[in-house]
Structure 1
């Protein structure tokens, strides 16, 4: 039965715009910040002293953003309600000496970032995005959203066994081309400088990556599916931002709503902007101390805090159903998933399940279980890291998708709005 009439097209259309405008973690953070500012939040500098004022605030560090809303009546020991997500996605990232090539082809040297499905980057038109750093330390966003690069696959005539199993060498086979002629040192930097409207000699550093230039789109006869890039995990960043903006209008909140959008989840979260770094803890503690609290207040606030770690999970794949746990088959448009793993690859426990189901009930949203097949190793999220590092009760949730870590992923068009509804209900207390 078609579900095309059910989903919130406005929310899904907005998500598509967010995905297209956020080809890198730095763009995702900038776009989330712009939405929060429109809702009345203001940016704080980590180097400034913070005061006890109420209202919405956020800090940005690289590709990470922490936002929080202090309601009227909040004390130093008021607990937090946290939505955790991440801004990064697997892709191809530009190396420090990018100009390379061979046999009359000019190419760009890249490094594989995260657990990328390499074959999905073949024969795909790629743009370039990220940030450059100028003399003096200023950062400038770069978004070249046109067909600029391509990783060409070897023709079947030269590899007759390719359909029996494609093997890609990460160093030799994944270097995109972008022109013809001799390799010219500094060529990419000069190009990026021109795109950014600065002199090449002003650029002292860069954090650049590729992205597919194909825009997000509805898919299927009834347009009940959504195809697009970076759903893992910008769907959650977008939903969390919407929930934070909605929290501003809530009255007499007994909690302090928080959005923690980290970078570097796809390679282990070990950075100053990752979930294993000190950023979230520093922000929460400074918030407590700014309201006149001491360590006792911090301990009380953290003890009463709960985090929904929101990330994508696997929908049952119709062609590979044997890879899934037979009793737990999440489906597209079936609502958010509750992720459970006895070995703590996910942080959910019985108490977390109760908190999640309560939020779903308040939002009037259906939900599903996700558990991995015992024979298939389970991935992980920022959930266990957040729980262990900060002693915060954490629940792992998300939406079910296909083609996770592909250059182009697939979800049900209902599910992003259903997730945002649950996160909004969660923050509303």
Structure 2
């Protein structure tokens, strides 16, 4: 198990942004024998083939084709996570300090980001002769560059009682010192120097600040993992393990793993689970596979999708925050998530199917339902299944400190989730 968990931490370390998550996933898929396709080209697919396609660099769909008819099974996760995104003109010079103007992406526990070393990573677009084809470069400077210092308790005596933070005022990262000589475009100039280009060559960028500290094992038995981005890279790694494990010589039907961007901001984007991309890719697969659209619709009607995202574990200091009869704990296994509101997509049959799989293969499982007097979270399962109407179930590993700069899980739960994904894709 430790080897698989070390791979999880390695993957997280390679994935400071959704773009890097897709790049890390693609590298592993190529090594496993998957061929890359392009959305803008015609597809020629072969029964028994393994393929993947990127969508705007931050979403990826990987699939395996059987040599005969069989069930359609899909697993979906998301590539994004809460972070701070730099604004287009981020430089602010104040009293000789160079700070950066940022906005939050997704729901964040702001205080957990204070006083940490932060790196910078993302995508930069560079000028070319053709304005419609800028040169795009992924960057990860892989060193601490920023920090968001908290105000000393001597100047904020009520911090432990109140501690409210304003994103625009209190969460701007410190980048440099320069006194009166600090340029109004100091970050743009620094970025150009790092990329070895002229400042005028940089047309735009999408850059994020992320915690530099690596994930680690902890606990008296090293049973826990403490790491940034467990939400939702635990699920990405599990889905990758599942789709790579398929033996296409024996496979019947279609298996597909979808890794969508923008779940943390609602999924309603061209590369999100709320877009047409999943249905379009399915249709292109069936047509290139020599199947009809009618066959695709029949398979969707009888198909199954696992929506894989993390779940809340019972917190030992706040046990009353859990539903009184549904208390998933770290180390208790895969969490089956349900909600009467359908913010989680599972229905009676979907629950029975996943529970049946777990019990048939000795996979530990547990239930999560929100307290009736609190508003819970949601994920991409309900959104994706409205556009591709498959029976869908939401599952994931239990976490503590979800949406903190650093989250905590139990290693055994990741092992259980990987085992479940391999059975779903079997």
What range is the shorter-chain TM-score in?
Answer: over 0.9
- Equivalence map 1:17-416=2 (5 Å): 17-54=10-47, 55-61=49-55, 62-74=57-69, 78-135=70-127, 136-181=133-178, 182=180, 183-247=182-246, 249=247, 251-416=249-414
- Matched residue SS, 1:172: helix
Unaligned runs of 5+ in 1: 1-7
Cα distance in 1 for partners of 2:93, 2:302 equals: 56
After TM superposition, give the deviation of residue 203 of structure 1 in Å.
Answer: 2.2
Tell me, yes or no, if the aligned pair for 1:335 and 1:365 is still in contact at 8 Å: yes
- Matched residue SS, 2:38: coil
Cα distance in 1 for partners of 2:195, 2:399 equals: 35
After TM superposition, give the deviation of residue 187 of structure 1 in Å.
Answer: 2.5
After TM superposition, give the deviation of residue 106 of structure 1 in Å.
Answer: 0.2
After TM superposition, give the deviation of residue 83 of structure 1 in Å.
Answer: 0.8
After TM superposition, give the deviation of residue 378 of structure 1 in Å.
Answer: 1.3
After TM superposition, give the deviation of residue 73 of structure 1 in Å.
Answer: 2.4
What is the aligned partner in structure 1 of residue 130 from structure 2?
none
After TM superposition, give the deviation of residue 197 of structure 1 in Å.
Answer: 4.1
Tell me, yes or no, if the aligned pair for 1:79 and 1:303 is still in contact at 8 Å: no
After TM superposition, give the deviation of residue 358 of structure 1 in Å.
Answer: 2.8
Cα distance in 1 for partners of 2:346, 2:6 equals: 31
Cα distance in 2 for partners of 1:372, 1:86 equals: 22
Cα distance in 1 for partners of 2:350, 2:393 equals: 5
Cα distance in 2 for partners of 1:362, 1:179 equals: 57
**Alpha-carbon spacing, 1:199–1:240, altered in 2? closer, same or farther (3 Å):** farther
- CA displacement 1:359-413 (0-9 Å, x = unmatched): 3234421100011111110110001001111111110000100000011000001
- CA displacement 1:320-343 (0-9 Å, x = unmatched): 111110111111111110000011
Cα distance in 2 for partners of 1:343, 1:166 equals: 33
- Matched residue SS, 2:384: helix
- Matched residue SS, 1:93: strand
Cα distance in 2 for partners of 1:356, 1:343 equals: 20
Cα distance in 2 for partners of 1:38, 1:197 equals: 31
Q: Greater CA deviation, 61-70 or 49-58?
A: 49-58
- Matched residue SS, 1:162: coil
- Matched residue SS, 1:13: helix
- Matched residue SS, 2:61: strand
Aligned length: 417
- Equivalence map 1:8-23=2 (5 Å): 8-23=1-16
What is the aligned partner in structure 2 of residue 4 from structure 1?
none
CA RMSD of superposed structures (Å): 1.4
Cα distance in 1 for partners of 2:34, 2:360 equals: 26
Tell me, yes or no, if the aligned pair for 2:65 and 2:248 is still in contact at 8 Å: no
Cα distance in 2 for partners of 1:188, 1:143 equals: 15
Cα distance in 2 for partners of 1:158, 1:236 equals: 42
After TM superposition, give the deviation of residue 64 of structure 1 in Å.
Answer: 0.6
After TM superposition, give the deviation of residue 251 of structure 1 in Å.
Answer: 4.1
Cα distance in 2 for partners of 1:73, 1:255 equals: 6
Cα distance in 2 for partners of 1:193, 1:68 equals: 39
- CA displacement 1:48-85 (0-9 Å, x = unmatched): 001232311111122110111112224xxx54211110
Cα distance in 2 for partners of 1:161, 1:424 equals: 51
After TM superposition, give the deviation of residue 232 of structure 1 in Å.
Answer: 0.6
Cα distance in 2 for partners of 1:12, 1:149 equals: 29
Cα distance in 1 for partners of 2:367, 2:298 equals: 31
- Matched residue SS, 2:30: helix
Which stretches of structure 1, 4 residues or longer, exceed 6 Å deviation after superposition?
none
Taking structure 2 as the reference length, what is the TM-score of the superposition?
Answer: 0.95
- Matched residue SS, 1:147: coil
- Matched residue SS, 1:274: coil
Cα distance in 1 for partners of 2:338, 2:390 equals: 17
